[in-house]
Amino acid sequence: MTPTFTKTGDVEVLLELTCRRLEKVVDYPVTYNYVVDFDAGSLHVEFLRRMIENPSRQVNAFAEFKLSGFPGNTSFLVSTDQWVSHEYRNRRIGSVLTALKECLATAWGVRYLIATVNNGNDHELKLLANLDWTLVDLPDMPVKLAYHSVNRTTITI
């Protein structure tokens, strides 16, 4: 059983709010795309430049992430594929995306977000530690397990 990703007002509002937040960083209009894979129970979100003059023109995303349902238990959501374009790193976009994921998890009634992070990926590890994620060393594995208990009352983007 995996979470059902529906196109609800809440999700759209959260994505729009995130666009407004990201515009302050990248200094151009931002829009989003998202793809729901109902079979896999996953959601892929990307943020990209909104072309006001030519809205149909495709431009590359500058930030993205993926959330997937955990097989067999709707209390967990797995976060993967977080990425921020090189030119915008260290400007808190990754932190904003992670806060958004926490908001989405709250909207869907999820209790825990989980992820793995390569040992040595100090940037992502610092980002998650800043946002109070718990990092667990796994014996004989080159990755840490990262998890976050979703706090339903204090999340802001």
Ligand X SMILES: CC(C)(COP(=O)(O)OP(=O)(O)OC[C@H]1O[C@@H](n2cnc3c(N)ncnc32)[C@H](O)[C@@H]1OP(=O)(O)O)[C@@H](O)C(=O)NCCC(=O)NCCS
Q: Is 82 in the site for ligand X (CB under 6 A)?
A: yes
User: Number of helices and strands (H, E) in the chain?
Assistant: 3, 7
Choose the binding region for ligand X from 40-48, 66-74, 78-86, 101-109 (rule: CB under 6 A).
78-86
Q: Sign of dihedral through CA atoms 7, 22, 50, 77? A: negative
Separation CA 41–CA 89 (nearest Å): 29
Give phi and psi for 75, each to the nearest 5.
-80, -15
**Candidates 15-23, 26-34, 42-50, 79-87; binding stretch for ligand X (CB under 6 A):** 79-87
CB of 91 to ligand X, least distance (A): 5
Q: Which of residues 104-123 bind ligand X (CB under 6 A)?
A: 117, 121-123
Q: Does 94 bind ligand X (CB under 6 A)?
A: yes
Q: In this structure, how many other beta carbons lie within 10 angstroms of the beta carbon of residue 79?
A: 24
The answer to whether 46 contacts ligand X (rule: CB under 6 A) is: no
Of residues 92, 101, 144, 148, which one binds ligand X by CB under 6 A?
92
Cα gap 40→3, rounded to integer Å: 10
Q: Among 2-10, 14-22, 77-85, 106-114, which window interacts with ligand X (CB under 6 A)?
A: 77-85
Q: Which position's Cβ is nearest ligand X? A: 94
d(CA 123, CA 36): 28
| Contacts to ligand X by CB under 6 A | 82-84, 89-95, 117, 121-124, 126-127, 130
